[in-house]
Each structure stands twice: as structure tokens, then as C-alpha cells.
Amino acid sequence: MLIALIGGLLALYLYAIKPNSPSKKNLKPFLGRYYAHRGLFDNSSDAPENSLNAISLAVEQGYGVEFDVRITRDKILVVIHDNRLQRAAGMNKLVTEMTFDELREITLFHSQEEIPTLHDVLNLVDGRVPIIVELKQDGGGDTTICDVVSPVLDDYNGDYMVESFNPVLMIWYKKNRPSVIRGQLSTNHLKEGKKGLLLNLSLQYLLFNFLVKPDFIAYNHIYGNNLSLFINTRLFGITTVAYTLKSQKELDRNRTRFDILIFDSFIPE
């Protein structure tokens, strides 16, 4: 009886964490290069994170680029990591509560760089390097950003894939854009102080994979010994992405553990 119960729970766990079949999508265009996290940035320079200057520098050096997309109050797609503008611009306001015209009056990290739109970034990259687009929606089931971003990316001619910490957004992509390469982002949410034990354990251990069916998993390399990540890699053969490597030592240590490497704060050798 006990053995049957354990076997049933194990089967349920493996079902829950199983990703999409590796043969379903072609990820080869994304392999074989490093990815600059938010561009090749220095927040004390004229090329701060997620700025056109930082992304241009990365593209010119042949790096792929991973960047963040949020939506404004008037449903304009902008490239910025934080929802609250305190760190990037010294303002205690939310991107989602501001119009695009209001955001256009802001410069990033004491530079002259403005917050770019997704259109700005796509026009700049222009298919020269592959990109990883992280969709930012801070909790909940609102998928408005998917409705707005998907037609924009549909018209983009370069190689791109989408990812998010929020599985609801990737479930939307599975249903509405099944051919687009989608990825589940995760980390040790509890150690990073996220509230909600059950939800964060489920996210941390990839228990929504049966709904998302991700084509790749992007995981905080610091917690790369996660059991579900290990099983996804070794048993299911999914493509894995390491974020964010901040030294050559970290890059070298993770080179054989992950398929795709995202870096910042140094230039890879």
C-alpha cells in the first residue's frame, strides 16, 4: 500500500514537471553564443541597463540580448526591468500607472537615455542576433501584455523566444502562439523572500510545467541543483538557460551545466 502510494506520488510529480518535447521546437539558432543581460550595460555610464545604447553595444559585439518588457497604462510596450521607477529614475511611481508620454520625460540612471519601446529595440536589433524577451507581469492572471506584445513579435523577422516568471503568461502563449518558443523562468523564490509558501514552492520546483509545457527553462544558476531542474535536464532533455552570471568564474562553472548562458557585469573571455 505504502509503495503504491509513493509510486503514485512520484508519477504525479513527474507528470507535473514534464516540459514540452525537445523535438517540438528548433532552438539551434539560440545556441553557441552568450547573451548580454539587459544589454551590455553599465549603470554609471551613458549605456544603462535596457537602454538602446546598451543593447546596441551588445549587438555590435555579437552577443545575443535578454531584455525585459512591461506595459504602460495606455498599453505601450516599454523595455525596463523594474515596475517601480525608484532604482532606475529616482521616482516612486509604477510603470504600469504611467502613460508612455509621461515615461518619455524620464531618463535612466542619470544618463541621457530614455526608456525605449519594444519597437525601438526590435528595430535596433533587426535580426542581427537572437533575443530573449522576458515578459513582466507582477503576479495574478492578467494577460493583457500577451495580447499587446504578441502581434508586435509576430511581425519581427529575427530569432526570438519569450519567457516569464509568471506561468499564466506562458500558458497564454501555449494556447495562442503555440509555435513561439516559450520558457519558464524560476529561482529559489523562498530564499529570495517571496511570500506565499505553496505558490512559491510550486514555482520553484516547476510544478506548473504540465500547464506551461515550456520549451526551455531559465533558472537562477545559484540554485542550479534544484531537483526538478535536474530531472528536466537529465530525464526530459529540455534546453536550460542560466541567469545571471556575473564573473568569468561563474560562467566557466556553469558552461557544461546549462545550454544557454546570460551574463552581465563583465565581458566573457
Residue 214 is assigned to a structural domain of this protein: yes
Q: In the structure grid, which three cell numbers stand for residue 236, read together?
A: 526530459
Of residues 24 and 158, the one with the higher pLDDT is: 158
Please state the domain count of the chain. Answer: 1
**269 within some domain:** no
Backbone torsions φ then ψ of 186, nearest 5 degrees: -160, 170
Output the CA–CA distances (angstroms, integers) from residue 192 to 20, 93, 132, 187, 201, in the order listed.
27, 23, 23, 8, 12
Instruction: Tell me the pLDDT tens digit for each residue of 153-208.
Output: 999 999 999 999 999 999 999 999 999 999 999 999 888 877 788 989 999 999 99
Is 95 within a domain? yes
Mean pLDDT of 61-81: 98
Asked whether residue 50 is domain-assigned, the answer is yes
Total-model pTM: 0.96
Taking 90 as the threshold, does the pLDDT of residue 138 lie above it?
Answer: no
Query: What does the alpha-carbon distance between residue 162 and residue 182 come to, in Å, rounded to a whole number?
Result: 5
Percent of the chain with pLDDT over 70: 100
107-117 confidence digits (pLDDT tens): 999 999 999 99
Does 58 fall in a domain?
Answer: yes
In a domain, 24, yes or no: no
Mean pLDDT of 145-152: 98
Q: Tell me if 87 is assigned to some domain.
A: yes
> Containing H/E element for 78?
strand 77-79
Q: What is the CATH number of the domain that holds 119?
A: 3.20.20.190
Asked if residue 228 is part of any domain, the answer here is yes
On the question of pLDDT at 139 being above 80, the answer is no
pLDDT tier at 142 (50, 70, 90 boundaries)?
Answer: very high
Residue that the C-alpha cell 573571455 belongs to: 269
Helical axes 144-154 vs 118-125, angle rounded to 10°: 30
For residue 114, what are the domain limits? 34-263
Contact 262, 220 (CB under 8 A): no
Could you give the CA distance from residue 96 to residue 105 in angstroms, rounded to a whole number? 15
pLDDT band at 134 (very low <50, low <70, confident <90, very high): very high
What is the rounded average pLDDT of the residues 103-129?
A: 97
Tell me what the pLDDT averaged over the chain comes to: 96
Question: Percent of the chain scored above 90 by pLDDT?
Answer: 90
Q: Which pLDDT value is given to residue 184?
A: 98
